[in-house]
A = this chain, B = another copy of it.
């Protein structure tokens, strides 16, 4: 795991994204320097390594995925008016919205360019899959914004949204590594499905951590989603299951404009606890992770080679931030 991350961080820190005008390229270096799990490029390298010991051949495309992911964060932060990302000012706060729009655009362009830096024979196929995935991520973001102004979102709608916004990019990251590693199409497709399931589990874990993380390890305030009425899996299930007094209370907190933040977090968490939302969400989350691991298990690849990916999934399940 650390070997992969080291390789990615080192290449990312030294890659020449451009220089002038500085207003355009400094924000790119800035957001990429804020760190993060580097989950997506790690998945690409691990997936390539399933088929080829020379997994460094997937390094530039892996960076392409990471640059694309950070482009979506940059533009999402403008749309969400988020002041902070990974404990630091967001780009539109540190510079301004115009610079954030334009440097984001350049990141999308550079991401595309990084995919070209491979000797994989069928670059058209890789890019076609990337374009489909990239548009789906935008669709997911639009649905997420649409959901903000709706009181009721169904479980199916929510799962479709997080599939688009989060899971398809994890699926593509893994498929990409496999394609560059020379895997046959059937296996690439299976690994894509593995990634989709891991991605859905990953997002449900995110929803859970926001409420139930160990606050010392989590590193940010608990209950941010509760405060902003974010339509998470937890809230959607709670709205679905609440009755009588709990329903009334939940409605109160969802519509009340003037409230004490900690009081709202405590009250809504209490309702979640009474309704057994944590166990329900964990069950759903585990079903996706299990499905993903099952797909990985059935793949006709040497068990030893699967080890890093398996270990990574376990880390994602157990993560505390």
Which positions in A face B, CB cutoff 8 Å?
A: 18, 20-21, 23-24, 75, 78-79, 97-99, 101-102, 104-106, 108-110, 112-113, 116, 123-124, 127-128, 131-132, 134-135, 138-139, 141-143, 145-146
Contacts and interface: CB of A to CB of B under 8 A. Distances in A.
B135 A127 contact: no
B131 A112 contact: yes
6 contacts: A106-B138, A109-B138, A112-B131, A113-B127, A113-B131, A123-B123
A91 B274 CA distance: 46
A98 B141 CA distance: 10
A114 to B, nearest CB: 9
A102 B18 contact: no
Given A78-B101, A106-B135, A108-B105, A113 B128 contact: yes
Contacts of A23: 142, 145-146
Given A101-B75, A102-B142, A142-B102, A109 B135 contact: yes
A145 B98 contact: yes
Contact of A116 (B79, B104, B106, B128): B128
A20 to B, nearest CB: 7
A98 B79 contact: yes
Nearest to A131: B113
A124 to B, nearest CB: 5
Contacts of A98: 78-79, 145
A90 B73 CA distance: 25
Contact of A127 (B99, B116, B132): B116
Contacts of A134: 109
Given A75-B102, A79-B102, 12 more contacts: A21-B143, A21-B146, A75-B101, A102-B141, A108-B108, A108-B109, A109-B135, A110-B131, A110-B135, A113-B127, A116-B131, A123-B127
- Which 5 residue pairs are nearest across A and B when measured between Cβ atoms? A113-B131, A79-B98, A24-B142, A21-B142, A109-B134
A267 to B, nearest CB: 30
A75 B146 contact: no
A18 B112 contact: no
A20 B102 CA distance: 25
Contact of A139 (B21, B104, B132, B138): B21
Contacts of A124: 116, 123
Nearest to A134: B109
A109 B130 CA distance: 9
Nearest to A108: B108
A101 B127 contact: no
A105 B138 contact: yes
A75 B98 CA distance: 9
A106 B164 CA distance: 14
A143 B135 CA distance: 29
B138 A102 contact: yes
Contacts of A138: 24, 102, 105-106, 109
Nearest to A143: B21
A134 B24 CA distance: 13
